Structure 1
């Protein structure tokens, strides 16, 4: 009798314990479900804010501040205090402090290059190279070179882009095709120049060396660059019209002394970059050399230097003003504000775990396909939602940090997706800004071939690598910029060993 009672008591004890555990598991599951639903609602609301802001013309910075308020509200709902959320936000800003300093240096550098006559000299020289049958491909290559030298898609568009589109229109080139070639060329250097703010941002986010990233990006871009040249050559053969080329040198000569000496600041960047000198040091030395040229060659007063560095270069000659005006620390202020506000997101995301579920989904996609495909799909979504290259890069880095086995591999993935995909989004600030600078139609986006070839070629490489693991260690792969740690399976094997 006692034995039976003992059995019954034990049975009831196990039954009650099982029910308690079952109820606890249900509560946890319900909590996870509710959390996932709220996270989904928050992210959809954020996307709606950005998209509606573009439609009604709300400044991107305003939309980002509204998004920040939304994420802070989510943090408060999760039980975090205002002080904790402020600390999270500041931790995000600290991660990009290096980039913010770099933005200021870039702003000063682009201003001095204009004032020293460096950019006008290159623009004048470029105009001599173009012909009606080659205007499209030549414009692409000239904008590639200018964007690589100045590291800015907007800077290349406002200088070489404006000149090439003006010349091309006179020669009868198709405006959409010509605009696509210029847009493509502007994104070439924006992606892989040592002067590029986006390259610096990617290096900072992935904690990788910018110069090493640039070397790999240049090699992986070889095939897309060749394909783009072939495509633009074929597309430009139908151009017809006047063969008269505007004489930019005469217009520039009224303001600048166009001596080969003005190329010294650019020569410093090229030589020092190939010598793997620190990017900041390279920029500062180039900046100092440009200031010397401004004073000694262009006869600028030393008293004008502070205004030049802060507000940028300005000329009263309206015929060349669109091609030479610009630069300065304040020209980077808006971009710095966007990066600062967007960087607070990463701190809040990390602290509250807002993107944990979405990050897991991205990682599953990457595991079932290839890591790059996971990053690319994320980039497309963030580019469409964020409408801005900087925000696209930052969100993609945040969501895809578990897709690759190393920061260098992730940096290459981001540069081959997030850095160029915005050029293909009609409402992206990057695409809109460049086309507005040069006066090209919105249909030019259909011919931004380089921006499309980069991710397409990388998809081909990543799929081939998935089925041929030994490929990443071959000489051909190394020539194309790939390394052993680009295959996460080999990285995991090394870690396991």
Structure 2
């Protein structure tokens, strides 16, 4: 008996099948999210559709499992970093690091520099805590409260807060989107952050100049600092505050500067932060471990302050971890089907002939997915990465350029989607409408630098990690 006749031959997807399959997956994700289905469940259902596609192509399940395990195993370091981030925020709250940042930041507030300071302080808060939402709900509330007592347009200050919050979130090694973009692209965390500096830092400097100019045009008037003083007095009452408490936050930046392995750097920061919390706040080790696991809790009796402080912990990251794991499963199954290979080789690369066009199309695609999914930056990052990773590989462009591009569009566009989750959050927390969006200059400028880098070659690396700028034109093509 010829056993070979009973073995099904794996089918290679045609370009039409690949395009239709991918569009179906994206359409299901978009439809479910806009219907209000949880992001994790939407991605899970998309993964089930990918399973059906694999079965239609007669792909052996053993092949699917092998690819699935490989993709998920590649993401394990990112899972561990996300867990450490949750621990760190809880410890920083208990240890007074975040309260000290808020306290000393608000002491610097002046009407003449309120707008640029809103950008800088919100950025620093998000950089050190890894959360744009947390920055908006802490430093943002304080700054907007002060702005409401001046002649400065409140939407302008809100825009500066939003831009700063998403700038810090984007560049923070503690951020979920930063870890997600580097993780799904399989780029070391600090390589990813280093790559983003080429587009993000110049855009931040331009935005800072614009915010400074706009602030000077409107500065003046009387200022009632009652709200800021209430927050500062409450923080001083419940924490032993001094500038030394900011050192654990600075350590996060030093870890990035010296490019320590992400897990080692995070672990070192956690240990130092525990010591600081025990020495300066007198928190015992058992309490700290519980804060690290479940988040910091404190009742100050001041309604405006409690939401600023009660956050962090591993449990605060479980939603992201589950979404990330399910997304990894979806990505593994889609990879096993081979439709992304066909999309890249037989569809995209036929129309994309240069790195400039590739980066531009990737940005546009990421924007489209984000707007269609109501500001679903997680889905935008995942779907765009899976669509374009092979195109970057085949064109010999390092994936740190891809991971950067995902954040330049996917992460930053979230708070400018009028119907998006991030925008609704800003509106709810800061008590505004969408009138702040036109002032979000930083968010609009970053993609310009992203495209300039792509066409010029500056800030672009080849697949081996070598710089593509400073070469002859022929070599940088």
TM-score under structure 1 length normalisation: 0.81
Please give the alpha-carbon distance, in whole angstroms, between the structure 2 residues aligned to 1:359 and 1:169.
51
Report Cα offsets for 1:79-133 as digits up to 9, x if no partner.
3466654554444332321111111000000111111111111111111222234
Selected match of 1:230 from 206, 209, 214: 209
Q: Report which stretch shifted further, 92-101 or 378-387.
A: 378-387
Matched, 1:363 2:342: no
Corresponding residue SS for 1:355 = helix
- Runs of 4 or more consecutive aligned structure 1 residues displaced over 6 Å after TM superposition: 490-496
Q: Please, which of 23, 38, 44 is the counterpart of residue 65 of structure 1?
A: 44
Q: Do the aligned partners of residues 33 and 328 (structure 1) sit closer, same or farther apart at CA in structure 2, a change above 3 Å counting? A: closer
DSSP 3-state at the match of 2:79: helix
Q: CA deviation at 1:180?
A: 1.7
Alpha-carbon distance in 2 for matches of 1:353, 1:482 = 28
Worse-superposed segment, 401-410 or 256-265: 401-410
Secondary structure of 1:134's partner? helix
Q: CA deviation at 1:184?
A: 0.9
Q: Could you tell me how far apart the structure 1 residues matched to 2:110 and 2:15 are?
A: 63
- Structure index of larger Rg: 1
Q: Sort the Cα spacing of 1:435 and 1:362 in 2 relative to 1 into closer, same or farther, 3 A.
A: farther
Q: Would you say 1:388 and 2:380 are equivalent positions?
A: no
User: Is 1:78 aligned to 2:57, yes or no?
Assistant: yes
Match of 1:419 among 390, 411, 418: 411
Single out whichever of 283-292 and 100-109 deviates more from structure 2.
283-292
Offset at 1:426?
Answer: 2.9
Change (3 A) 1:422 1:209: same
- Say which of 436, 439, 443 aligns to 1:444: 436
- Tell me how far apart the structure 2 counterparts of residues 282 and 399 of structure 1 sit (CA, whole Å): 32
Unaligned runs of 5+ in 1: 1-27, 466-471
Q: Which moved more, 1:446-455 or 1:190-199?
A: 190-199
SS at match of 2:218: coil
Question: Counterpart in 2 of 1:462?
Answer: 454
Question: Which stretch shifts more, 397-406 or 334-343?
Answer: 397-406
Task: Report the Cα offset of residue 318 of structure 1.
Answer: 4.2
Aligned to 1:468: none
Aligned length: 451
Q: Which runs of 5+ in 2 are unaligned?
A: 1-10
User: Aligned Cα RMSD in Å?
Assistant: 3.1
Contact kept, 8 Å, 1:42 with 1:71, in 2: the verdict is: no
What is the CA-CA distance between 1:310 and the residue it aligns to? 1.2
- The alpha carbon displacement at 1:327 in A equals 0.5
Q: Partners in 1 of 2:337 and 2:450 — Cα distance? A: 33
Q: Is the 8 A contact 2:25 2:46 kept in 1?
A: no
Per-residue CA distance 1:369-392 (angstroms, 9 max, x = gap): 522112212211232244422222
Structure 1 residue 374 corresponds to structure 2 residue 361 = yes
User: CA contact under 8 A between 1:42 and 1:74: conserved in structure 2?
Assistant: no
- The SS at the match of 1:129 is coil
Query: Take 1:102 and 1:36, find their aligned partners in 2: how far apart are those partners?
Result: 34
8 Å contact 1:339–1:391 — kept in the other structure? no
